[in-house]
Structure 1
Amino acid sequence: MTARALIIGAPRSGSGKTSVTIGLLRAFARRGVKVRGVKTGPDYIDPGFHAVATGTPGLNLDSWAMQPDLLQHLFAEQADGAELLLIESAMGLFDGIPVAENRTGCAADLARLFGIPVLLVLDVSGQSQTAAAVAYGFAHYDPDVKMSAVVLNRAGSERHRTLCTDAIEKIGLPVAGCVMRDPSLVLPERHLGLVQASEHPEIDAHIEALADAMEKSLDLDALMALAAPVSLDSGSLETAIAPPGQRIALAQDAAFTFLYPHLDKHWRAAGAEIIPFSPLADEAPRDDCDVCWLPGGYPELHAATLGTAANFKAGLSRFAESKPVHGECGGYMVLGEALEDAQGVTHAMTGLLSHSTSFAKRKMNLGYRQATIAVDGTVGSAGDVLRGHEFHYARVTEPGHDAPFAEIADGQGRPLGPSGGRRGHVTGTFFHAIAKG
């Protein structure tokens, strides 16, 4: 079986790509199509929606963080046994960082590398014929990135739809349909983006409504025909991050959620066992595990509960006496002495590292990161370079006195200084690792 693929792109964030992608994934799945989702870039929330929509795991493909061989391998794995891959762009289609060609992190890189056409989603609210000028610019900006068709989103009336459609089709781009303005289709958001699929109270009903809207508004047969067959070699896992242990105790609940699907899949395929536990339920890592991983998430929203989770804190402290513990972003915050919540109330955390953080004194940190690890540990050896990103609003209010976990640079290699902390068997950082550099 040869899978077909289509990139769903837009001029900017907030154009409706996610709603269109999720709705189409479910609509095709309801037809019996073996469809899977992919998200470009480092966004770890949208793949969860893709997974719920299709019943199969999502995937991030990041052309900056992942070497081309790893991209090939992960893409080939996702395509294996599939008939259709829908690839949701991060931000605007061409938005990346100014580095080497096809390593910028933008979805257009994948269009060039794998010959995948683009379905352009245009939010036409507040404009009509001008949408054609935008579409024309996309069609001619890069000759190696093919626009296959346009989807109009948030049209206000039939007259509005007709004006936009006629203008765009005059420049030679087909319009595959129009989704009318409907506030009920909007997914809820909070400070790191969408509320996660696992927390949405009626996620399946919402996805069903999105699928109904896409089936009503778009020509699914035409979209299937526009998707291009993909031909990929097997690539390589050489730059994948190895399992941090044989039996991994993984914090997993509403406070700890951000583990990349490709890491989970690779670690399991390599023979590791992942044993989940819930700090919010006052559970500690099991003694028969040999490493504990605290991923990112939303501990700032659950600081009071975590602060009183005596069994979790005591059990983690015992575990760390002899075995490695690593925390990323939210996990790093919980490894510190204290966390100040949005109301300015300070809660005692595990104290396994000496820093303190605050969500009341906010500062957005966002961007690609290259981290050179200081010493041998859970995610690599001293001197190894990891690629990943930071995205958080919390800030360090007390730096503490621990040695740094790594030296970090931005996506263009400009030094940013030390990152995170390490003490004994415990390491942590705000940096989310995606792959080896």
Structure 2
Amino acid sequence: MDPKALKAEFPILQQDINGHPLVYLDNAATTQKPRSVIEAVKTYYERDNANVHRGVHTLGSRATDAYEGAREKVARFLNAASTREIIFTRGTTTALNIVASGYARQTLREGDEIVLTQMEHHSNLIPWQQAAKVTGATLKYIPLQPDGTITLDDVEATVTERTKIVAIAYASNVLGTVNPIAKITEIAHRKGAVIVVDGAQSTPHMKVDVQALNVDFYAFSGHKMCGPTGIGALYGKAQLLESMEPVEFGGEMIDFVELYDSTWKELPWKFEGGTPIIAGAVGLGAAIDFLEQVGLHNIEQHEKKLSRYAMEKLSEIEGLTIYGPRDERVGLVTFNLGDVHPHDVATVLDTEGIAVRAGHHCAQPLMRWLNVSASARASFYLYNTEQDIDRLAESLVKTKEFFGYESIR
């Protein structure tokens, strides 16, 4: 894997920002798109644009084939047992809301428990808060260790026979923590609970096998893995999806409609009401082709190397605090530089052509656990290099100087 050669496949990365070559380190928020994905979406609109599942004309048939072909790619990518288990959504947020509304609100009763962690993105927290309010269920949290990890002993202690749902991120978008999902799943199932996994920060960076993990639901977004915005998917075990009612009603998801009642299509279409995100699905399929050509194992190893290098380089900067585990983590580093506000850090870095994220990262409870209001985050992907991290470190030293701190490396 040659990240410099891969970078050439991304048109947006071939530009200068504020007089400097762009160093894009905001990949946990969204990744850039290679030419093959851009061309796939462009070709769909120029050649195949039509609604799916409806028309018998040639364009409609080609659009349907492209859309359902993308579903087949997602099923293979996740190693789902069937395409029936893949629901196209707008992204991770929508997918998690479908589970919280279509499954949790139907099955939970007063006194039941939903188990989370404090590292969850708001998308994997607020839907469960709302489900608990409606059903009378109780929210419980697996405690975090000082380095932002969780222990299986704490999972065992928190998940009880009253727990019906365990909802957890595979990887934290702030701490970089990679949770032991297979082992957590075993505990959840042994206690009689289903497990819902937020895969937004794991799917782009490592090989995911939903059958090997034995998870019940798994959600991810296309835009974090070289695909378009506005498209993602929910994986769910077929028997669970069959038991759920749709959460969106209208055209395309129906079987028969009478004046006073209706019946639904079979999986997966009963969850895809209205005109679906056809171009997005086509682009997601092209992104999967691209990632599989590069190799998920190669991407994972490259990011681990970058993370280790970033931890070493940034740890040399006096006054910089890094959050999360020192070792096993996905490709991101979240930090604060003395008492300089993260937004100011990000602004100065932008003048150097370096794009990072600053704020609470949609994880306000975790920020409070860290005892900060916000932080800066540099996140890496397959096109980033050690030279990008060198640029980041050098610019952070300049940031210290800009704000009047002594430059110590």
* TM-score, structure 2 normalization: 0.27
Structure (1/2) with the larger helix percentage: 2
* TM-score, structure 1 normalization: 0.25
